[in-house]
Structure 1
Amino acid sequence: MAVGAWSFYKKSFSVPPSSTHLVLIPTYNTGARLLATVQAALAAWQPVWVIVDGSTDDSLAPVRLLAASEPHLRIIVRPRNGGKGAAVATGVDAALAAGFTHVLTMDADGQHPADHIASFMAASQANPAAMILGVPLFGPEVPLERLHGRKLSVGLAHFEILSRAIGDPLFGFRVYPAAPLRRALASTRAARGFDFDPEIVVRLFWAGVPAVNLPAPCRYFTKAEGGVSHFNYLRDNAKLVWLHTRLITQLLLWRWVQLRRVRRSR
């Protein structure tokens, strides 16, 4: 939706801003879909913060125009690209400093369902100690290599937590308790790029944060539809192999003791 039409459109709904839960949208060279994603998020929830991770395209320009007239939209710009996890870490630090307790993360390219934001936030408000994890419902357009590849990641995550409590370790549509998320990020030098979603959910579970799994649709856009992907099959799959090697090694050496304590406490 064009920025000029947004002022008229937003009069048709009223979303009271939350003082505890906010939406974080990390973005890097997302292209034209960024503005529509931000508008959809604002229509479902307020406030919304966009964390610009060193983008070099012009995707931020219309969002800046929107922010000029939208008090519940904040833009935080990182000077250099550091990866999704680094962008989320920047947003979480700022959210905690502003008094927020929970953040919902969603992708900037429109793959994640903005119309599910309210139900995920409600689940978090009902169970504030938990992380609310999206379990993706894919359409027929999903690349088969992505669909089959994530089955391996799901199985490895289940082994790493000795449980099936995490429905999907890769789907980034989630609500995190902000303070435990910052501690989990501080516990590792990794989880700053594509490896953020699977590593951080395992580390949060190790730390005793329970998981609530909710289904949510996920849509893959083609390039003709404006879809943008920064996933590099060789680089990022190698990073995932190294990620799971590290997590399994930690599990076998000492994390299994921590997991026993977590189970007893529950």
Structure 2
Amino acid sequence: MSVRSSTHLVLIPSYNPGPGVLDTVRAARAQWAPVWVVVDGSTDGTAEQLQALAAGDDDLTVIVLPENRGKGAAVLAGITQAAAQGYTHALTMDSDGQHPADLIPTFMAASQAAPAKMVLGKPVFGPEAPALRVNGRKVSNGWANLETLWMGIGDSLYGFRVYPIVPLIKIMRGNRFMRRFDFDPEAVVRLCWAGVRPINLDAPVRYLSAEEGGVSHFKYLRDNTLLTWMHTRLFIGFLLRLPLLLVRYVMA
């Protein structure tokens, strides 16, 4: 039986994930209520399938954006509506089945015990995980930890995490970035700058083959260029904030 909350919801941004998204949503609903899905301009018919699923479930909400705006933009749309309805925290997870729905209650409990903090999933990779992706993320993680003076970001890219909604909205409204693939790492760095400390919990991640219904929108050159530009901006911001970060580091 799913756990019900009036403060914490599951938020699933979704863009052309294929029919497997229905399994992802059902798995999340089996663990938690409410679950919200933000359909980010999908053209694969999954918006209609999700709306049909929600028609028979009062604890499932589907928000359909008219065009693809990027993961960060989808999350912002969702948490803005969630805040207006009184929710304080959102657990984000991918719609493609990579993230462990069975750990939703564990992550939510950690957030409820320390609501001022963010709860970050630290990926545990299986043997099927592409070595290029596993090793490549170490670069982004190294930069993220430098930019926060090692405040404790276990993994900057893994999107299975619980955010406090109010500070995240404030950060996203304060800049025009964080709308696409750069959302996950920039969100944790900027939240650390805002004084939101991380809690890290291990969580397995699955890389599904095409035969298993896996869908990837990762473009190596495009997305790594975006991350490079993001870390350039963040490093400049880090230098400007360095005195304050040093004070926090000494007092921690």
TM-score (norm 1): 0.92
Which residue matches 2:102?
115
Give percent identity, aligned residues only: 57
Distance, in Å, in 1 between the alignment partners of 2:76 and 2:182 is: 13
Which residue matches 2:75?
88
Contact (CA 8 Å) 1:133, 1:212: kept in 2 or not?
yes
> Is 1:76 matched up with 2:76?
no
Which residue matches 1:234?
221
Where do residues 15-164 of structure 1 align in structure 2 (5 Å cutoff)?
A: 15-164=2-151
Distance, in Å, in 2 between the alignment partners of 1:94 and 1:249 is: 32
- Equivalenced residue count is 252
| SS of aligned partner of 1:108 | coil
Kindly tell me: are residues 209 and 265 of structure 1, through their superposed partners in 2, closer, same or farther at Cα, counting changes over 3 Å?
Answer: farther
Which residue matches 1:197?
184
| SS of aligned partner of 1:71 | coil
Distance, in Å, in 2 between the alignment partners of 1:261 and 1:70 is: 49
> Is 1:246 matched up with 2:233?
yes
Contact (CA 8 Å) 1:28, 1:81: kept in 2 or not?
yes
> Is 1:259 matched up with 2:248?
no
| SS of aligned partner of 2:135 | helix
Contact (CA 8 Å) 2:3, 2:105: kept in 1 or not?
no
Contact (CA 8 Å) 1:17, 1:72: kept in 2 or not?
no
What letter is aligned with 1:124? S
Distance, in Å, in 1 between the alignment partners of 2:247 and 2:69 is: 34
| Cα deviation, residue 257, structure 1 | 2.1
Q: 4+ residue stretches of structure 1 with deviation over 4 A? A: none
| Cα deviation, residue 261, structure 1 | 4.1
Which residue matches 1:188?
175
Larger mean Cα displacement after TM superposition, 15-24 or 38-47:
15-24
**CA offset digits 1:88-144 (Å, max 9, x no partner):** 000010000000000000000000000000000000000000000000000001011
**CA offset digits 1:149-170 (Å, max 9, x no partner):** 0011111111111115000000
Distance, in Å, in 2 between the alignment partners of 1:250 and 1:101 is: 27
Contact (CA 8 Å) 2:157, 2:185: kept in 1 or not?
yes
Distance, in Å, in 1 between the alignment partners of 2:2 and 2:31 is: 7
Contact (CA 8 Å) 1:18, 1:46: kept in 2 or not?
yes
Distance, in Å, in 2 between the alignment partners of 1:113 and 1:81 is: 25
What letter is aligned with 1:163? W
Distance, in Å, in 1 between the alignment partners of 2:169 and 2:248 is: 19
| SS of aligned partner of 1:189 | coil
Distance, in Å, in 2 between the alignment partners of 1:15 and 1:218 is: 22
**CA offset digits 1:174-197 (Å, max 9, x no partner):** 000000110111222111000000
Distance, in Å, in 2 between the alignment partners of 1:47 and 1:186 is: 25
Gaps of 5+ in 1: 1-13
| Cα deviation, residue 264, structure 1 | 5.6
Instruction: Provide the aligned C-alpha RMSD in A.
Output: 1.1
| Cα deviation, residue 16, structure 1 | 4.2
Kindly tell me: are residues 37 and 123 of structure 1, through their superposed partners in 2, closer, same or farther at Cα, counting changes over 3 Å?
Answer: same
Contact (CA 8 Å) 1:27, 1:108: kept in 2 or not?
yes
TM-score (norm 2): 0.97
Distance, in Å, in 2 between the alignment partners of 1:42 and 1:265 is: 41
